[in-house]
Chain A
Amino acid sequence: MAVQSHLSGVSSMMQSDAVPKKIPTYKQIDLAVALVFAVIGCAAMVETLQTSADGASPLDPRYATFFPLLVSLIIVLASIVLALRALRSTTSAGVADAGKARYGRTGLATAVMAVYGAAIFYAGFWPASSVAIVVMALLLTGKPLSRSEKGWLAIVALLLPGLIIIVFNVFLAVRMPTGGGY
């Protein structure tokens, strides 16, 4: 009985989001940003120096290498400032509403978006778009749809891609992909 009570308590806590999630702090996010930008800046510097041609000095502002080098340097310096600032920070506060955010679902939506981007060329714009509308709407609501919502979703998913095809074909002379690859 006690175990059952405990389990139901845990279950209700999980349902109400009361269990604290491990969320990133501002300090961790700033450090990650600094690291990513420092890598981008360094990589850009290396790439620029490799493309420096004709024995021209990469530091001569009249040549094509100077500006990318300068920008890369600014990025690296700004990353160092951001990293130092984050390291000196004493806060352990987390992102304000990260506890309520559904990051797993966002990852899924990002994957859906990427797959949809490719699918229009293989399955065709109309079918791929119809599926994408339904999947994305379900991900966005996150709750069972009412009867009228299902009806609207079906109508929009079926008709909107067709409408887009007609508008683009008639006015812009753009032929949307019909499938079969690029």
Chain B
Amino acid sequence: MSADLITGILEALSLWPLAAALGGLVMGVIVGAIPGLTASITVAILLPFTFFMPPTVGIGFLLGIYKGAVYGGSIPAILLNTPGTPAAAATSLDGYALTRKGQARRALQLSLYASVFGDLFATMVLIGVAAPLAAVALKFSAPEYAVLFLASLVLIATVSGKDLTKGILSAGAGALIGCIGLDAMTSTQRFIFDVPELLGGVPLVPLIIGMFALSEVLIQVARPPALDLSAAGVQTTGPSLSRSDFMKQIKNLFRSTSIGTFIGALPGLGAEIACWVAYGISRQRSKTPDEFGSGSLEGVAAAESGANATVPATLIPMLIFGIPGDVVTAVLIGAFIAQGITPGPLLFSAHGSVIYALFALLVLTNVALIFVGKVAIRSFSLVIRIPNALLMSCILVVSLAAAYSINSDPYDVVVMVMGGIAGILMRGASIPIPPFIIAVLLAPQLELTVRQSLALSDGDPSIFLTRPISGSLLVLFVAFFTYIIWKFLSAPKASRVVSND
């Protein structure tokens, strides 16, 4: 382990991995600061470019984008009341109020420091728990994995959207898409419809590019941004954040970061939910809850640290169990597999030096975010001058090229276009897309592990209960599922009838 650790740190400190991670960080901050562009879109369309790079360079680049984009969204949220990414939505409440009070600089500085704090704390948790958890996960076999995949899938379907029924429909449709192709155990053909290309299943990356990038372009055609950002006045002036201002937030930062880390480690939730939960709990615990919404530094610190803490935390289930924490980590799994590295408990023994190099890059980019963030705040007025129409047209072309380049196959382009059409229809009908994507990835693994377990037990389903780890996980899962159903049934009827109201 120590040899892997030292090799990994030395690898992270070499020129190309460091340059790629920093380049990704800068790109991520820029992308996050442009409303409409998110980490998932950028990571998906740039994934094929990383195939020719060594693992630490390619994956380090994508991790830099992910990290930068979640922070970058806070800059327009504070300055223009327009969150760059959904993860910055809670930041805009108090951030923009502070800007209107002439305290934009304080809000921007606190948001940057809170992001770095949250990210660093969660990175330390990741480094601390990943190897021990992987050692525990080595004891898992098919029944344990089956219960874990089932629990993740149910969690993603029920919690990640606003509407339980639509979440289940989305995950169900994703699971069906995941069934397309040859069955992994008996090679039975499923949903092939005499189309030979479908034998290999539906490729995930072109599907994600279509559902996120293309549908975003189409959405912007229907609903152009309400605010012309290039004409918006940007003022980053005002008093600076004092040391005492920051120190007053320490307790709040620890609490919000812990919330973000916990939520990030659960599959399917991510920064969009963590920022609101951290904000809400911070308000409940605050001595001055009335200030929330009208320019509270506590609100900015809670939302930003909570959202950014999810970034390293989503890597915990992905690296240890191969379960994506959100859409970005679903794409990252593709990046790992393309590099010949399969996420799972054997990761540390088989590719320890690569994983430690990536951990070191996460810490280094965290330190770098302080400087990159400061430059980004000063240069924000330049970023928003990029004409939106031109940017979106370029995304269309790059998306198509990226989808084609994966296998040099027109079938991938067809999947991408179909994904774009499905994405816009799903968004129009308020059906959450993340459960769909994650189910495409997880459902085949769930099916495989369930069938392997039943093969082990000669068809006896009690195997899931009689083994201590899978039994405990199953009890926990049933308790959680019962709670979700109880909450749904006990909710006021009006909120269940049409949730979109």
Chain A positions within 8 Å of B, measured between CB atoms, are 26-27, 29-30, 32-33, 37, 40-41, 44, 47-48, 51, 53, 60-65, 67-68, 71-72, 74-75, 78-79, 81-82, 85-86, 88-91, 93, 97, 100-103, 105-106, 108-110, 113-114, 116-117, 120-121, 125, 129, 132-134, 136-142, 149, 152-153, 156-157, 160-161, 164, 167-168, 171-172, 174-177, 182
Contacts and interface: CB of A to CB of B under 8 A. Distances in A.
Contacts of B413: 117, 120
Given A44-B191, A62-B451, A172-B48, A71 B398 contact: no
Contact of B387 (A109, A117, A149): A149
B366 to A, nearest CB: 28
B188 A51 contact: yes
A136 B393 CA distance: 6
Contacts of A101: 222-223
Contacts of A110: 218, 420-421, 424
Chain A CB within 10 A, most for which of B396, B416, B424: B396
A79 B405 CA distance: 37
Contacts of A102: 221-223
B173 A75 contact: yes
B414 interface: yes
A182 B411 CA distance: 10
A141 B391 CA distance: 11
6 contacts: A100-B223, A102-B223, A106-B219, A113-B420, A139-B221, A164-B398
Contacts of B430: 29
Interface string B213-225: 0100111111110
Interface residues of B, number: 70
A119 to B, nearest CB: 10
Interface in B389-444: 389-390, 392-394, 396-398, 400-401, 404-405, 408, 410, 413-414, 416-417, 420-421, 424, 428-431, 443
A27 B498 contact: yes
Contact of A140 (B179, B221, B501): B221
Given A120-B413, A164-B398, A72 B176 contact: yes
B222 A160 contact: no
Chain A binding surface, main DSSP class: helix
Nearest to A71: B175
Nearest to A74: B172
B173 A113 contact: no
B166 interface: yes
A91 B52 contact: no
A109 B221 contact: yes
Contacts of A116: 396, 400
Interface in B147-205: 165-166, 168-169, 172-173, 175-176, 179, 183, 185-186, 188-191
Given A109-B218, A113-B214, A117-B414, A64 B188 contact: yes
A87 B362 CA distance: 50
B49 interface: yes
Contact of B218 (A106, A138, A176): A106
B388 A140 contact: yes
Nearest to A121: B410
Given A71-B176, A82-B165, A160-B394, A174 B408 contact: yes
A175 B401 CA distance: 10
B416 A85 contact: no
Nearest to B403: A117
Contact of B191 (A41, A68, A86): A68
A68 B221 contact: no
A136 B217 CA distance: 9
Chain A CB within 10 A, most for which of B190, B414, B443, B496: B190
Interface string B13-42: 000000000000000000000000000000
Given A75-B173, A78-B172, A137-B390, A64 B416 contact: no
Contact of B390 (A32, A125, A153, A175): A153
Given A61-B461, A116-B400, A164-B397, 10 more contacts: A62-B455, A67-B443, A71-B443, A74-B168, A134-B393, A141-B389, A160-B397, A160-B398, A164-B398, A171-B52
Nearest to A148: B387
Contact of A67 (B179, B189, B219): B179
Q: Closest 4 interchain pairs by CB?
A: A140-B389, A64-B188, A64-B183, A106-B222
B410 to A, nearest CB: 6
B450 interface: yes
A75 B172 contact: yes
Chain B CB within 10 A, most for which of A82, A110, A113, A138: A113
A156 B389 CA distance: 12
Nearest to B439: A71
A128 to B, nearest CB: 9
Given A113-B420, A152-B387, A176-B404, A37 B454 contact: no
A176 B424 contact: no
A117 B451 contact: no
B429 A33 contact: yes
A140 B405 CA distance: 26
A61 B48 contact: no
B493 to A, nearest CB: 9
A33 B188 contact: no
A8 B173 CA distance: 50
B500 interface: yes
A83 B175 CA distance: 21
B498 A30 contact: yes
Contacts of B496: 85
B262 interface: no
